[in-house]
A and B are shown apart, each in its own frame.
Chain A
Amino acid sequence: MDIKPLPEKLLLHGGTILDPKAQRSFTGDVLIIDGKIAEIGSVGSNTDSTKIDCSGLIITAGFCDLHVHFREPGREDKETLASGSRAALAGGFTRVCVMPNTSPPIDTPEMVGNIIDKAADLPVHIHPIGAVTQQQKGFELTEMGGLLETGAVAFSDDGLPISNGSVMRMALEYAGMFDVPVINHAEDLTLRNDGLMNEGRVSTQLGLPGNPALSEITMVHRDLELAVLTGSKLHVPHVSTAGAADLIRRLKAKSQNITAEVTPHHLFFNDEALKSFDTNLKVAPPLRSETDRQGLIQAVLDGVFDCIATDHAPHTIEEKEGTFDLAPFGMIGLESCFGAVNRVLVREAGLSLEKLVQLLTVQPRRIMGFDDDLLQVGKKAELTIFDPDLKYTFQVSDIHSKSANSPYVGHQLIGKARITINKGIIAKNH
């Protein structure tokens, strides 16, 4: 991938412009002058601009991922804000929210400010999510007002659940004052016990301790009812079970303030894949049964999920080379995201490409209150240009993250971001 400054005048010529806000698509050109959209429509090729032929490609708003782990500060050996940004651009993402489970966690206004400063000159918009509780210990609330003032956009103790129900209730009540979402990694640790993978026929066949679907379902249920009770914004991350998806479907009817995300990996893989004992497939929550996977896909088709989020979680090769019990939970996902969800949702399940693009662009932005109307003259160019038809085998060379813990390597994906334009730069994938 090359990343270069945008030319003064750039013409994206002859692509399909897919405007996810206006929900329309048409063939046309986009002219970018000094980093801003100058014209959309039929610009023609007679200008003095640098021209990129976009025939066969889709030009749309930059993808936005509400759930990534960039590990800075503390585990810069796994990922940094800079290396994570390259991975994001390679996947077509222009805007990401970084989880606060760094070392130390992002739980003070000063630490939020630090992330904002470090990310200022990076080519991706990086929004910190602040911790819900001090040191992510699950008890004392952080200075949420101060965290928001310095740039946090939501709150989460992700990586760990907020186990104590009253703390979760107070977090929702308190964050509700500011009208920002609380995101809880929902796994009841007492039911999860020592589980390393989904509890089911496969865990029994492999002799691995199982993590039952119920560990997610019970805590998601608690959180949803608390959201109804408090009226505050709740965002449910990385839903892995059909049971939790059904509860979200039901409880959304009682509150406008419930949103939910699903990851590409819970849509792409099921627990049968663990038969390889590939530690890159060890994630939390775990890859579930095929019935769950189908339930999640159906929930996407039914509009239960508001967005796709990768839960990009880098870990070193050394850690992932250990035996299954010792390897940490998590996989990277930015680079493989579009090719995976386009294959599963659009090609296999019949979702429209327009709907998929909404799940990657305007819908996540609305959850966080970001500007969702990007394809407008005068706006700073924040665009993704992708090839929806490219079939390829995902390879290590597609990875730009500092870590390579991707189980997609060797799998066929369909669709790939070709060009990402953001913050005055243009990134091109080879």
Chain B
Amino acid sequence: MLQNRHLLGLENYPREDIQTILDTAFSFREVLDRPVKKVPALQGKTVVNLFFENSTRTRISFELAQKRLSADTVNFAASSSSLKKGESFKDTAQNIEAMKIDAVVMRHPTPGAPWHLTKFVDAIIINAGDGTHEHPTQAILDMMSLQEKFGRIEGLKIGIIGDIRHGRVALSNIYGLITMGAEVTLCGPANLIPPFITDLGVTVNHNIDEVLEWADAINILRIQRERMGIGLIPSIREYRRLFGITTERLAQHKKEIVIMHPGPMNRGVEIDSSVADSDQAIILDQVLNGVASRMSILYLLLGGKIEQPK
């Protein structure tokens, strides 16, 4: 059903497959609204959640998606620091493979790690975030939330606000949204926007008020406090002055735009609490859609009939 055996990233991912994933996600969303929120779709399948760095939200979302589909789930938390001490990535991968599992959901701090994993294991691989590279399931759930809100993605104007360079959310969103026909503008400190990013078909505008005037929806990325004090962001006060999504700033704009945030939020830093809790925000819908999207992806990759290349 899907053209790729794995879901590694959304770069060059076929548009029709994104649409299939979204359509299937909406049907699973209905399941989540039922009193009994479980289907036997993946009974007998085993999925390992292999997390080389902590991401409680993403892991729980995947775990819940697996349980709702009746798959057997194992969590494997490996610290990347133990890898540096000599236990090899290959060993970890092969150990997991030896346990005869059907799919691996992997979070890893290094770009490319899921591609690397494909060399060592035969299981289906789903990228749950590889460092500053891709986080395709997050982008799928964001697109699902946009489609739910607007009834379409094509033609939407989406602003992505904040630290584009160090996040894993921006790239997959850019690839996915551009493929689906949306327009994307990035807004953040110039030193946190990757060089040559406009080659990917996006616009960069450092003026947040212009972006708010233009956009149908904005996706606000988390500003990590680790970025302070190393020359990347002068101060939180400065960041809020230039890029913060505050109640006062939104009040200056007549158009009511949709507010998204992949979480976890720093309330009072990149987003005001009152904005996050307002009717404009669809942040909690994103969380629920995350489970539905991941059910869809697992189902299509593990349950659908796929030609498996030998």
Residues of A near any B CB (own CB < 8 A): 199-201, 203-210, 212, 276-277, 318, 321-326
Contact = CB atoms under 8 A, between A and B. Distances in A.
Nearest to B194: A204
A363 B223 CA distance: 54
A261 B225 CA distance: 45
B11 A277 contact: no
Contacts of A325: 109-111, 131
Contact of B195 (A210, A276, A324, A326): A210
B168 A204 contact: no
Interface stretch (B39-47, B196-204, B292-300): B196-204
A206 B112 contact: yes
Contact of B196 (A200, A207, A318, A324): A200
A321 B199 contact: no
Interface of B: 11, 83-84, 88-90, 108-113, 115-116, 130-134, 168, 171, 194-197, 199-200
Nearest to B172: A207
Contacts of B171: 205, 207
Nearest to A322: B89
27 contacts: A201-B196, A203-B196, A204-B194, A204-B197, A204-B199, A205-B171, A206-B111, A207-B111, A207-B130, A207-B133, A207-B168, A207-B171, A208-B111, A208-B112, A212-B195, A276-B115, A277-B112, A318-B88, A321-B89, A321-B90, A322-B83, A322-B89, A324-B110, A324-B113, A324-B116, A325-B110, A326-B110
Nearest to A207: B133
Given A199-B195, A204-B194, A323 B133 contact: no
Nearest to A317: B90
Query: Which of A203, A207, A208, A209 neighbours the largest number of chain B CB atoms within 10 Å of its CB?
Result: A207
Contacts of A204: 194-197, 199-200
B134 A326 contact: no
A277 B199 CA distance: 20
A362 to B, nearest CB: 41
Contacts of A200: 195-196
A205 B112 contact: no
Contact of B112 (A199, A212, A318, A323): A323
Given A200-B196, A277-B115, A205 B11 contact: yes
A206 B84 CA distance: 22
Nearest to A326: B84
B134 A207 contact: yes
Given A205-B200, A207-B131, 17 more contacts: A199-B196, A200-B196, A201-B200, A206-B112, A207-B111, A207-B133, A208-B132, A210-B194, A210-B195, A276-B115, A277-B112, A323-B89, A323-B110, A323-B112, A324-B113, A325-B110, A325-B111
Contacts of B83: 322-323, 326
A273 to B, nearest CB: 13
B116 A323 contact: yes
Contacts of B131: 207, 325
B132 to A, nearest CB: 4
Contacts of B196: 199-201, 203-204
A321 B112 CA distance: 13
A200 B197 CA distance: 9
A318 B88 CA distance: 8
Contacts of B200: 201, 204-205
Contacts of A208: 111-112, 132-133
Contacts of B132: 207-209
Contacts of B110: 323-326
Given A207-B130, A207-B171, A201 B199 contact: yes
Nearest to B52: A323
B183 to A, nearest CB: 19
Contacts of A318: 88
B178 to A, nearest CB: 12
A203 B134 CA distance: 13
A270 B115 CA distance: 19
A174 B111 CA distance: 44
Contacts of B109: 325
Nearest to B120: A321
Contacts of A210: 194-195
Contact of B111 (A276, A321, A322, A324): A324
A245 to B, nearest CB: 21
A322 B88 contact: yes
A229 B131 CA distance: 45
A326 B112 CA distance: 12
Contacts of A326: 83-84, 110
Contacts of B88: 318, 321-322
A199 B197 CA distance: 11
B113 A323 contact: yes
A199 B194 CA distance: 9
A275 B115 CA distance: 10
A258 B169 CA distance: 48
Nearest to A199: B195
A302 to B, nearest CB: 28
A229 B108 CA distance: 49
Contacts of A212: 195
Nearest to A202: B196
Contacts of A276: 115
Contacts of B133: 206-208
Nearest to B84: A326
A278 B109 CA distance: 17
Contacts of A277: 111-112, 115-116
B34 to A, nearest CB: 38
A296 B240 CA distance: 46
B9 to A, nearest CB: 9
Nearest to A289: B196
A323 B87 CA distance: 12
